[in-house]
Chains A and B, each alone.
Chain A
Amino acid sequence: MSQNGGPDLFSRRAMILSSLGGLYFAVLGLRMAQLQIFENEEFRLEAAENQFNLLVNPASRGPVYDRFGVPLAVNRRDFRVSVMREDVDDLPTTIKALASILRLPPEKAEGSLNEAKISPRFMPSMVAENLSWEEYSRVSVYAASFPGVRCEMGEARNYPLAESMAHVLGYVAKANDKDVAADPQARHPGIRVGKEGIEKSQEKGLKGVHGATKLEVNAHGRVIREVVDPRLNPKSGTPIVLTIDAEIQQVAYDQFQAKDKRPVEAGSAVVMDIHTGELLALVSAPSFDPNKFVDGISRTDFNEYNNAEMRPLYHKAVRGIYPPGSTYKMVTALAALEAGITDPEETVNCPGFYMLGNHRFHCHARRGHGSVNLHTAIKVSCDVYFYEMGRRIGGDKMAQVAREFGFGQRFDLGIPGIAASHVPDNAWKVKNRGKPWQVYDSLNVAIGQGLIAATPLQLAVMTARIASEGKAVVPRLIREGPGAAPFTPFKQLPFNYQHMHLVHEGMIAVSNEAGGTGRGDLGIEGVRMAGKTGTAQVRRITMAERRTGVRSNASLPWRQRDHALFVCYAPAEAPKYCCALVVDHGGGGGAAAAPRAREIMRATLLKDPSSKPAFTTRAKTADLAPPADGTPPGDGKA
């Protein structure tokens, strides 16, 4: 069937169809090029995503030590069991089985089930932790028969000192939604997030860098091998060394505990090295057990803490704002001397009250102190003397001196929630109370009442600045690690040395002379203390009450009782340490606060922590350590 000499019909058609086939093969080749050359990168990524599973490998949280290396926040071994929903066949059955193996209470098992139900498929969800070795081995044996059950040995945060360090350290707890939004890895059941104190503010340094375990898996999720990649290893958190001396901290904390017939008291204590500003104790009482928060505190426990009248969760030492009461009188005295409106020998007559117009301002001594000069006024804490001085100086000048002593200033210790309070003057009153400053404001502030308010930390700073003869001491809490500020020598405050000395004399008299409001012996041969009591009124005493007799503290509800305060430093002749102590609603400063502060000071002086070599986590580089590590310049022998 050849036609016209050309190829026949069959051959023509065979060639046409072959060409079409060839064209299709060309399309196949182009598609290959598209997938393998142009989209190669994306597909390689997708293949790697298939091939590898990354599991978060939590970094070891940085430990926190006291100045001598006593562990304050550490990681202990923790055996725990979790389930990975992705791999579990039947979640309720699995958890039920685990609960019966571990003898979990039914409500705990149900809680774990609910938590596992809402957790992401690929994230392990905790069923039980803090298991004993027996429980752990028991569950490990059974785990093989339950897919998706993971038995792990991890680390759990532990606070060996529990209550006494609770406010400084804060605590870690499971991440909440906000934490997870900030750092998705925090969802891992082995990871805790700092919620308060050092743990919160130094979270970044402490948590380290979480690593990952890279697993090669097949399509059925079975692990083929673990890929060793040093870049994925977790980096442990940086350790922190605090300035705190755990021993002194414990002594200070114990002062508020029930002892003999003494009841539990609320309050705070601050102990500081006046040359370096290092805080040796920073105590708030009553306290809480931070260990309870680590694994999730029960609602009952939390409510107990949260609703307690004495507010154990509150860091009173840095957040509590109190009228300083008579402890403020040194500021008034210095302001008066600096302003030149009195001389040390001038006497003021105290009949037990002070008349301003037709208003009577009472002295704490109803019968009066008689004729008092500066020295006696401080020793017996005569209110009338300081009313007179306050009137003469005026609010703004007193405020100026108060600021020099650190009032109204927020000291950054590297923990959250430190209060600044305020220093009242005319501008402050106009702004906050809408009224101009009045003379009676000056009178009240002069004795540390009325508009003035301060934190125990600020009282300690004030005492340190007085004791150091006017050095602008700044408190420090972190010696080493993230958040540690380099030590810079304190500048000298613009006060006359002579005036400072007069105040010292008064404070020494308080603790040592007959008639001193805070008299008491340290019990250390040849070492004297200087101090000042304070009794801060928290309620208004009406004229009617004055007539019928002021009610005794004991007859009042706790919340209305006076605050007892005491500030002191020692040794009196060559000051080294200072202490500020507040007993909330504790009554008189001399009776409730001074003995406690004396105990703390005694322990501090006996141990003398500043003269001992401090702990460091930096090996062998101590030669180049900042001055804070050694004996500070100008530090005399105690």
Chain B
Amino acid sequence: MTFLPDMESGRDSFFGKLRRIEWGLVFVMAMISVVGTILLFGAAGASWEPWAGDHIIRFCIVTCLMLVVATVDVRIWYHLAYPAYIGVFILLIAVELFGKVALGAQRWLEVGPIRLQPSEFMKIALILALARYYQDAESDRMWTLRAHAIPLLMLAAPAALITLQPDLGTAIMVAGVGSIMVILAGLSWWYVVAAAGSVATFALAAFFFFMAEFQKNRILTFLDPSRDPLGTGYHITQSKIAIGSGGLFGVGYMQGTQSQLDFLPERHTDFVFAMLLEEFGMVGGLFVLALYLAAMAFGIYISIGCRHRFGKFLAAGVTMLLFIYVGINAGMIMGLMPVVGEPLPFLSYGGSVMLSLMFGLGLVQNAKVFRDKTLGSGFKSSKRVR
């Protein structure tokens, strides 16, 4: 780990970089993961098998990975941004051509024993690519649409491919995080409002003309879960019962009848937060939401504090991605959003999301570790911020 070329401020040891890591953020993520481990331990009936043990071990592994990502020189990431984006984009096309059908959608790509879900990596790849683009493309005309034409194309193309899988949830997340970065880059609010209006119009049109039946059902059921309480609405109805019966302090750890008696579906993945709300009540729920808020506050703080635009956009993008995950999942289980099947990062069981988001958080830490770095020679633009 000795990529130490061209340091402006003299020698920078590995331990020096470690010291500059935002350990508060690491601590918050660890807290969330420990809560997740506790929940998964209970979900399996007081057993480390099959989820809780995996979960905590995975967290330890991805934390190590995060430390690596955080300490790798920022310019390496800068240079890798476009190739990574293009690579993941090609993988997405490959999924479309050779992908495995799982749960009615083509999401997986099998390479030997490894199952790849390129749409998951696209979230991070897009953030990287857009951060690089805005690092390079700073001008005083950032409010114009023209200044954002290429980024919009960069986010729309993968979103469209992912929609085709069809995986609307991930597509929306990719498009969403990309759009937030465009807004951060300075696109005029008028365009933002106009775009929001046309997206709404398009969504309505899509609903009536393009959506698959199961997607339509999800949305109809979201609007009225009692429409089909034993069919599509079952998940959300049971989730609301679990949450509502929890009350202020919850029914007690491993005492949740909805969770323990299987009424709550997917209690170890998408609906883990509902189990938390049932067993630990509103107090437990607010505690976990506060942890996520703290993580995001660290992210925004790092973003604003970073002196180069690449790091700013990286940190803000990943933070917003985390926000989108939490917002969609928490909204879904409480019946505020349609069931889109997105997990709650670090709380839900599942390796892909944890891996990609921890990679993203590594980039956030990187913006902290290399906050004072000037992206200098060899770069298109080397303006120092502030």
Residues of A bordering B, CB below 8 Å: 1-2, 8-11, 13-15, 17-18, 21-22, 24-25, 27-29, 31-33, 35-37, 39-40, 42-44, 46-48, 50-51, 216-220, 224
Contacts and interface: CB of A to CB of B under 8 A. Distances in A.
28 contacts: A2-B386, A17-B183, A18-B300, A21-B296, A21-B320, A27-B336, A28-B330, A28-B334, A31-B336, A32-B243, A32-B277, A32-B285, A33-B282, A35-B240, A35-B244, A36-B277, A37-B248, A43-B240, A43-B244, A47-B244, A50-B263, A51-B257, A51-B261, A216-B257, A216-B261, A217-B261, A218-B262, A219-B261
A8 B282 contact: no
B289 A29 contact: yes
B316 A14 contact: yes
A287 to B, nearest CB: 53
B301 to A, nearest CB: 10
Contacts of A220: 262
A50 B327 CA distance: 28
Given A10-B184, A14-B304, A218-B262, A28 B248 contact: no
A9 B293 CA distance: 23
Nearest to B260: A218
Contacts of B304: 10-11, 14
The 6 nearest A-B residue pairs measured at CB: A43-B244, A219-B262, A47-B245, A218-B261, A51-B257, A35-B244
Contacts of B289: 25, 28-29
B336 A47 contact: no
A224 B245 CA distance: 20
SS class of chain A's interface: helix, strand, loop or mixed? Answer: helix
A25 B245 CA distance: 21
B257 A13 contact: no
B140 A1 contact: yes
A557 B75 CA distance: 122
A512 B335 CA distance: 96
Contacts of A33: 282
Nearest to A33: B282
B342 to A, nearest CB: 15
B323 interface: yes
Given A17-B183, A224-B261, A44 B282 contact: no
Contacts of A218: 261-263
A9 B184 CA distance: 8
Nearest to B336: A31
A51 B278 CA distance: 14
Given A1-B138, A2-B386, A44-B247, A28 B277 contact: no
B385 interface: yes
B244 A13 contact: no
Nearest to A17: B180
A36 B142 contact: no
Given A11-B304, A21-B323, A46 B261 contact: no
Nearest to B386: A2
Contacts, number: 122
B341 interface: no
Nearest to B239: A35
Contacts of B258: 47, 50
B246 interface: yes
B261 A8 contact: no
Nearest to B286: A29
Given A31-B334, A46-B245, A219-B263, A24 B140 contact: no
B309 interface: yes
Interface string B303-315: 1100001001000
B293 A25 contact: yes
Contacts of A40: 244-248
A1 B134 CA distance: 13
Which residue, A27, A28, A51, has most C-beta atoms of chain B within 10 A? A28
Given A1-B385, A35-B244, 17 more contacts: A1-B138, A14-B300, A18-B297, A21-B320, A21-B323, A28-B334, A32-B277, A32-B285, A32-B334, A36-B243, A36-B244, A36-B248, A43-B240, A44-B244, A50-B241, A51-B257, A218-B263
A50 B385 CA distance: 59
Which residue, A15, A32, A33, has most C-beta atoms of chain B within 10 A? A32
Contacts of A24: 327
A10 B320 contact: no
Contact of A28 (B180, B303, B336): B336
A37 B316 contact: no
B186 interface: yes
Which residue, A37, A47, A220, has most C-beta atoms of chain B within 10 A? A47
B245 A32 contact: no
Contacts of A216: 257, 261
A22 B293 CA distance: 8
A37 B282 contact: yes
Nearest to B265: A219
Interface in B206-258: 238, 240-248, 257-258
Nearest to B293: A25
Given A17-B320, A22-B293, A37-B247, A50 B186 contact: no
B331 interface: yes
A1 to B, nearest CB: 7
Nearest to A39: B244
Given A28-B330, A216-B261, A13 B186 contact: yes
B184 A17 contact: yes
Contacts of A28: 289, 327, 330-331, 334, 336
B257 A32 contact: no
A42 B245 CA distance: 8
